[in-house]
Amino acid sequence: MLTLKQSCAATEERADQLIDFTSRIVASPSLSGEEGDVAAIIVAEMKKLGFDEVSTDEVGNIIAKINGDGGPTVMLNGHMDIVDPGPAEGWPYPAYSGKVVGDELWGRGSVDMKGPVAAMIFGAAQFKQLGIRPAGDVLMTVAVMEEIAGLGSQFLATHTSADVAIVGEPSRNELRLGHRGRIELQVKFSGRSAHASAPDLAINPHFAAAKFLQRLETLSLQNDSVLGPATIAPTLYVTDQQSANVIPSEVTIYLDWRNVPAESPEHAVKTLEALIEPSTDGSTAVVRVTEQPRTCYTGVTRDFASIFPPFATESSSPVAIAAEKVITESTGNPANADVWQFATDGGHLALSGIPCVGFGPGDDRLAHTNQERISISQLKTAAATYGPLVCELAKSIETT
């Protein structure tokens, strides 16, 4: 058992190394599909820190292990890809500087989520640093392509197993117990194109699309006891025409459905199909989940559906109670159990049956902005929390 006192001392001992490592990985650009360079830096650091096994899988995820004594396996999960920093103007320091200013470390990915990944790696490595054998194996996983629907963690979830997972996305060092999912769907209305001067020769798909949108506005969705109500929003509206004097033959509406666990992708498709009125003009409509081929930095290409599953862990569950206790003790603040507003890789893990809790340093409101920076004191507190959190979660699983 790794105590809080031990983990705090171990964190202080390696604080400079933690900050330096965080800064180096922030300085290595890693857009989704281009994570090879940062993966090499992370693998080298893990080996230096003494993980028992460090490997990468076929899509490029990093899986590192600290051997335990046969008890429950605890997974720590993060991702190494980032979103585009956008224009250089507006960033107070260059996006890939990794610069330390006072108590803050700046740069794209500092919050989402290279800082949290560094804290998890150093937290897990404390078992080695202190010569303490964990009850069960500790798996540190760093996934690829989280920002574009989670191909990496979906692969991880079906190729590795764990009894419980800690999702380290930024939570301001508070407890997070889930989030809604995201399903990207498209509804394609097909008719017949014609010169705009002769609409009677056309089957104009805009009218069927308009009727669909009107019915969509009145659709009522599920309400989840942990996550609250699901929502759906039409986003893009695309026709197959560039010219304003031609009636298109096709109109495609893109929809962003923030779903709760009771709403599967199949349910979403059926619900939208039911909103399409029987055709009176010969037009047709097809609903489908958006799917795109994605290529990983390892060269592997896979068709990937735009589905981020939701997850919801009851606050009365043993893992939530254990996490709340450790976080409160370690941070000295209430754990403020809540849900994330955004989707994470935890959904893929939960869908494969792994109970998840969320905890990570950094202010999630700064993620994906040009003001992205992480508090170093929060980073260190998180690094000191992960070891004890791993121990308590394993214990909570063992005793249930």
> Under the rule (CB under 5 A), what is the footprint of Zn ion?
112-113, 169
Q: Which is nearer to Zn ion, 14 or 182 (CB)?
A: 182
CB of 246 to Zn ion, least distance (A): 42
Closest CB to Zn ion among residues 169, 184: 169
Contact 176, 169 (CB under 8 A): yes
d(CA 56, CA 42): 11
In one-letter notation, the amino acid at residue 11 is T
Closer residue to Zn ion in complex, CB, 169/372:
169
Q: Nearest approach, Cβ of 345 to Zn ion (angstroms)?
A: 8
Q: Which CB, 140 or 247, lies closer to Zn ion?
A: 140
What angle do helix axes 376-398 and 4-13 make, rounded to 10 degrees? 140
Q: Which is nearer to Zn ion, 151 or 203 (CB)?
A: 151
Instruction: Please report how close the Cβ of residue 315 comes to Zn ion at its closest, in angstroms.
Output: 23
CA-based torsion, 119, 120, 121, 122: positive or negative: positive
State the residue number with the nearest CB to Zn ion.
112
146 closest CA partner among 79, 75, 83, 84: 79
Cβ closer to Zn ion: 112 or 137?
Answer: 112
**DSSP sequence for 124-160:** HHHHHHTT---SEEEEEEEES-TTTT-HHHHHHHHH-
Q: How far apart are CA 25 and CA 36, in angstroms?
A: 12
CB of 212 to Zn ion, least distance (A): 33
For 309-376, give the secondary structure using H, E and C: CCEECCCCCHHHHHHHHHHHHHHCCCCCCECCCCCCCHHHHHHCCCCEEECCCCCHHHCCCCCCEEEH
- Least distance in angstroms from the C-beta of 368 to Zn ion: 9
> Torsion over CA of 133, 395, 308 and 366, rounded to 10 degrees?
-70
* β-pair type (164-167, 178-179): unpaired
User: Least Å distance between CB 112 and Zn ion?
Assistant: 4
Closest CB to Zn ion among residues 77, 283: 77
The residue among 147, 72, 74, 65 whose CA lies nearest residue 108 is: 147
Q: Tell me the closest approach of the beta carbon of residue 81 to Zn ion, in angstroms.
A: 8
Complex with Zn ion: residue 74 or 113, whichever CB lies closer:
113
Distance CA 141, CA 61 (A): 7
Q: Report, in Å, the least distance between residue 117 CB and Zn ion.
A: 10
